[in-house]
Structure 1
Amino acid sequence: MDRDGIQAAADPLGRAMLAHHRGEPGTLVYRDGAATQDGNVESFYFSPSESWDRATIECLERLSDCEPILDVGCGAGSHLLWWANRGVRAVGVDASPNAVLTARERCEGCGTSRQSGEAAERGLEDVLVGDMFDLPVPTGAFGAVHVVGTQLGLGGSLAGISKLLREFARVTADKATAVVDNYDPTRLDDGFFGYRSDPREGIAHRCFHLEFEGEGDDGERYREVGRTLQFLLCSPARLREVAADTPWHVRDVLRPDGMAHYRAVLGKGSTQNT
């Protein structure tokens, strides 16, 4: 175990978040073969909410009426902080131990670190290390699930995305809401970082891994290389098809005109798609 009680393992993104939070030097890159892309840790995970686009705020506001919220892949905890500052109950889960540590440190003393009586009765904690395919939370405990950062694509296949949606259904109450996001392959080309084509309409793939170079307590430089991440990219039409075989249906698709990235608002308790 390291000085923070977190098991030492390849966790480049989490290490980058923790280093940035603590003001320590480090560099994160995405790598696909010889191609690299700046990890942009500050802008992706620590930007002030005043700089967020209106679509992001609207989604957070929509979910605020469905508390408690489960933020899957909560990263450095920016959305947890946004909700906590507005008195909204939310729990974070992330596969990265160092991202969870970062989120916990950032959330200390704010609303998200103080459970309500109802949350305590349900056995909910604030920020947890966990696998989104087997979430470490009780069945039916949440009114909403928030899954952004295109993590839905880590299902790797349409069947994998269906499996994820069913797990999100397990941990939510009847008539719950979920927000997920992805990239629409019909609006992408080979210039998109990590892009892999697929012969199926509305389907593509994205592959890359992350590398972090930091500095240890002894001043020595170290490098962590993460596993290769394989995302399934699917169009909103494909997502509707997948959701139709789960307890969810697509209520709305939100995206700026012409953009490949989109958010989908999912609902339970009805088979009526919009």
Structure 2
Amino acid sequence: MERTDSEPAGSGPADPLGRAMLAHHRDTPGRLTYRDGADVQDGSVAEFYFSSPESWDREAIELLERLTDREPVLDVGCGAGKHLLWWADRGVDAVGVDASPNAVRTARKRGVDDVLVGDMFDLPIETGAFGAVHAVGTQLGLGRSLAGVRELLAEFARVTDDAGIAVVDNYDPTRLDEEFVGYRSDPREGIAHRCFHLEFERETADGERYREVGRTLQFLLCSPDRLREATTGTPWAVTDVLRSDPHYRAVLAKSDSNPDR
């Protein structure tokens, strides 16, 4: 059984990442890979989507705590719900949104009640309903351009109140090399791109090979300075950058709540 994104299926478009999460939760894991031509990288499903808080770095937990102070929190691209479970254990009001139906299904099976399938560029959320947005997993780069990132930030601004804050992340291309899977250079300083698709493979109970291939994903990689540029024309300002090269997390605050802007 082999399925690609172009093949019709009753369960909807190909969803290899969500399928990998669901299979891992069911203890029937296969192999998730990032593929760009001949370049392949393991998807590390357990590490990225099912890790326990004991393995998280101190800065990540501090940011989760910082968002807690502005609950309710909207976790955009929530995946299998590991951050939502952390907040739930602390009695924090948090809601998850993910474009992957199988990721949402996995999060629900793990005990997350408030999680929705939705497009982050058109969130199924009322205006001003949240105090904070958490969007880590480099999905900010799916804006594909500075203008696209600005559009996404505008949507995050819409769903947060006047004192809203947000945490986003990305890779800084000024600290990357061309060995990075999917890397595409750009002549502009602090800008690059990343392209790959996801594949999920496993052997079914009857011994057949199951393979699901997703569409090609295109990401913008931007330095913190370029992210600051992308906030132009939005209510946001970058107030803090936490680096773990080449990855970084950025804290954004609404300009009305930021005394320095």
Provide the TM-score with structure 1 as the length reference.
0.88
Task: Give the drift of 1:217.
Answer: 5.7
| Structure 2 counterpart of 1:143, from 124, 131, 134 | 131
Q: Within 2, Cα distance between the matches of 1:216 and 1:159?
A: 43
Contact 2:128 2:159 in 1 (8 A): yes
**Partner SS state of residue 255, structure 1:** strand
Q: Which runs of 4+ in 1 moved over 4 A?
A: 216-219, 270-274
- Give the count of matched residue pairs: 251
Structure ranking higher on relative contact order (CA contacts 8 Å, 6+ apart): 2
Shift of 1:260: 1.3
1:9 shift after superposition: 2.7
Q: Does 2:32 match 1:24?
A: no
User: How far 1:154 moved relative to its partner?
Assistant: 0.2
Alignment correspondent of 2:233: 245
How many Å apart are 1:7 and its aligned residue?
A: 2.5
- Secondary structure in 2 aligned to 1:207? strand
Match of 1:265 among 231, 251, 255: 251
How many Å separate the matches in 1 of 2:85 and 2:207?
A: 32
Task: Tell me the SS of whatever aligns to 1:70.
Answer: strand
In structure 2, how many angstroms separate the alpha carbons of the residues matched to 1:271 and 1:228?
38
Instruction: Decide whether the 8 Å contact of 1:73 with 1:93 is kept in 2.
Output: yes
Q: Distance in 2 between matches of 1:174 and 1:196?
A: 37
For 1:223, which of 200, 208, 211 is the aligned residue? 211
Query: Which residue does the alignment assign to 1:10?
Result: 14
The CA deviation at 1:273 is 5.4
Q: Is the 8 A contact 2:162 2:257 kept in 1?
A: no
The partner residue of 2:222 within 225, 234, 257 is: 234
The answer for the alignment partner of 1:101 in structure 2 is 105
Alignment of 1:81-230 (within 5 A): 81-107=85-111, 113=113, 126-216=114-204, 218-230=206-218
Specify which of 38, 42, 66 is matched with residue 34 of structure 1. 38
Q: Give how far 1:193 is off.
A: 1.2
Matched letter for residue 253 of structure 2: G
Percent sequence identity over aligned pairs: 75
Question: RMSD of the TM alignment (CA)?
Answer: 1.5
For 2:82, the aligned partner's letter is: S
Letter matched to residue 108 of structure 2 = R
- 1:96-132 deviations in whole A, cap 9, x for unaligned? 000000001112xxxx53xxxxxxxxxxxx1000000
Letter in 2 for 1:224: E
Q: Point out where structure 1 has 5 or more consecutive residues left out of the alignment.
A: 1-5, 114-125
Distance (Å, rounded) in 1 between the aligned partners of 2:251 and 2:260: 11
Q: Deviations over 1:233-252 (max 9, x none)?
A: 00100111111220111111
Q: Deviations over 1:130-187 (max 9, x none)?
A: 0000001111100000000000000000000000000000000001010000011111
Q: Which runs of 5+ in 2 are unaligned?
A: 1-9
Which whole-Å CA distance do the structure 2 matches of 1:218 and 1:158 have between them?
47
Measure how far apart 1:255 and its partner are.
Answer: 1.2
- TM-score normalised by L of structure 2: 0.93
